[in-house]
Amino acid sequence: MKIRDITLSSKWGTEIRQKLYQLDGESKSLVVLFPGKYFSCDRSPLYYAGVAARQQGMDVLKLEYGYQVARVELDLKDLPDVIEECMEAIQAVAEAYNNLIFVSKSLGTLIAGEIECRIQMTIHNIYLTPLHATLPYINDAKGMIIYGTQDPEFESVSVDAIIPSAERRVIAIEGADHALERETVQGSLDVLQFLVTTYTEFYETVLNRPS
């Protein structure tokens, strides 16, 4: 495996080095990880989404936002700039792949949803703990939505607003919070094991679908 830096200048006055993990040989599938507002790609739910992808023979692009690199607070009026910077990184590599999968967390679900609207490719999504504001993107998407029943950011009113479709699977994790953790260590590990199994099955489905 080799790690390639996609280096971009950020409006936050810093340089972003997005990490592209490329397997030996030529993969035609790319998983893009979108972190949350304060939730990096090295936190367990996203980290293991990347590990599971590589084990399925997929390349992985781990995004970091410009304000995160600069270690400053995000002003939501600057969210369009975050979207543009992520889009630039994805467009730099996307043409080399046939399959594109977005795995996004919290605020990252908004960013992933907006970028999907702009990219002329079929994208499969795993939305982790989405925000209520992500619903318009979810209802146009293919993939799955995973949330915790103790997540105040995505309560029953949000779940009920998801339009049923064979293209979407909604998974509720009992007792999990916005970080997809439970009150006990063992409970959190059980959630993580479930997530890894679910990721793997999802990736296999995308890889094996008819062309």
CATH number at residue 127: 3.40.50.1820
Helix residue ranges, H only, the chain: 44-55, 66-69, 79-91, 107-118, 135-138, 156-160, 185-208
* Cβ atoms of 138 and 162 closer than 8 Å: yes
Q: pLDDT tens across 168-207, in order?
A: 999 999 999 999 999 999 999 999 999 999 999 999 999 8
- What is the Cα–Cα distance from 86 to 102, expressed in whole angstroms? 12
Query: Number of structural domains, the chain?
Result: 1
Q: Quick check: 178 and 151 in contact, CB under 8 A?
A: yes
Instruction: Tell me the residue range of the domain where 60 lies.
Output: 2-208
Token pair 């260590």 is found at 185
- pLDDT tens string, the chain, 211 residues long: the values are 899 999 999 999 999 999 999 998 789 999 999 999 988 999 999 999 999 999 999 999 999 999 999 999 999 999 999 999 999 999 999 999 999 999 999 999 999 999 999 988 889 999 999 999 999 999 999 999 999 999 999 999 999 999 999 999 999 999 999 999 999 999 999 999 999 999 999 999 998 876 5
Judging by DSSP bridges, how do beta strands 2-9 and 15-22 pair with one another? antiparallel
Cβ-based neighbour number of residue 159 at 10 Å: 15
Strand order in the sheet with 123-128: 2-9, 15-22, 59-62, 29-34, 99-105, 123-128, 142-148, 168-173
* CB of 17 closer than 8 Å to CB of 5: yes
- Taking only the tens place, the pLDDT of each residue in 95-117 is 999 999 999 999 999 999 999 99
Helix (H, G, I), strand (E, B) or coil at 165: coil
> Which tokens go with 129?
């703990």
Cα separation of 112 and 57, whole Å?
Answer: 22
Distance between CA atoms of 55 and 48, rounded to whole angstroms? Answer: 10
